[in-house]
Structure 1
């Protein structure tokens, strides 16, 4: 899952870097030459639509989504394992629902030949197809994680459910931050 997470993060980073370059060029053109590329805001929206599922995928793979650790760290091991299983399964169900919604939206766009109400009049099937691909990447990751969690639960492997699917303890987070600090120094 680490290479999956890294790939999603790199793709997102490259998209955002390219978007920043386009915004900078747009700003310079406006200020110095009184000219606009017209549509940079449209590109920004598309980048967010595609980038958001990639960020969701990274958060799921890295187990870095928000949790209420105060309650989680006080639970007995079995309860932690059960809660982590429920979290993995419900996240996969949410991803499947979002993928279904995105797919239906793309199909409707294709059916009607919808275009953006912007100066570029972009056929919406293009950015929505990229959005669908991003959502599929997110869904694939969550389904794999849910499958691993379910397998651990069925085999009675509560240690894996607690270790791999739970939030880091305060000590683990501190150790990770100190390790990152040493790597940067």
Structure 2
């Protein structure tokens, strides 16, 4: 039973990771295309893309927060480890678990705060300046991504270093370290 639940969790997490990464990549591609169309329109036809900068701002925020759980799981944050070689391995592991716990609480708090702001924006029907895109949509997406990041930090707190775990799958699609 535990093996079945574990397999289900790993497969679900891997599918979610692929979905988040694909969506973030699509956002980056669309931002590039919008920028190209805006530049061509602005300099060749003297007609900039109306609301292009607004769309790019929204997609930039979305792409950053969509990829945050994956970056968190793979420990790809910017880190300076000047003193790491001087500390014993057990102390580094303890420090990492405490940091992950702190970050889980912090991301959970930020997620709740952003969610409340999104609900308020939805109540007031807050929209963007040029295209009238509801502000709450992007804020709810950011809140969900922050919750996923908080869950990722919580799992890392329980498991320890994800890179130190034994690899059980060799195929990337069956990756157990999805989130």
Q: TM-score range by the shorter chain?
A: 0.7 to 0.9
The 1-side partners of 2:22 and 2:39 are apart by: 25
Indicate which of 112, 133, 141 corresponds to 2:141: 133
Note the residue ranges of structure 1 that are not aligned, 5 or more in a row: 153-160, 167-185
Counterpart for residue 135 of structure 2: 124
Deviation per residue, 1:90-137 (Å, 9 max, x gap): 121121122112101111111111122x23233323xxx244224423
Structure with more relative contact order (C-alpha pairs < 8 Å, separation 6 or more): 2
The CA RMSD measured in Å over matched residues stands at: 2.3
Cα pair 2:103 2:153 within 8 Å, conserved: no
Note the residue ranges of structure 2 that are not aligned, 5 or more in a row: 1-12, 165-179
How many equivalent residue pairs? 152
> Secondary structure of 2:76's partner?
coil
Indicate which of 31, 34, 40 corresponds to 2:46: 34
Counterpart for residue 171 of structure 2: none
Q: 1:137 to 1:121 in 2, by over 3 A?
A: closer
CA positional deviation for 1:165 = 6.4
Cα pair 1:85 1:149 within 8 Å, conserved: yes
Counterpart for residue 50 of structure 1: 62
Counterpart for residue 11 of structure 1: 23
What is the TM-score normalised by the length of structure 2? Answer: 0.73
The 1-side partners of 2:163 and 2:66 are apart by: 19
Give the number of the structure whose residues are more often helix, by fraction: 1
1:36-185, aligned counterparts within 5 Å? 36-116=48-128, 118-125=129-136, 129-150=137-158, 152=159, 161=160, 163-164=161-162
The 1-side partners of 2:50 and 2:38 are apart by: 8
What is the TM-score normalised by the length of structure 1? Answer: 0.71
Deviation per residue, 1:33-84 (Å, 9 max, x gap): 2212211111111012212212322220111112231222321122111111
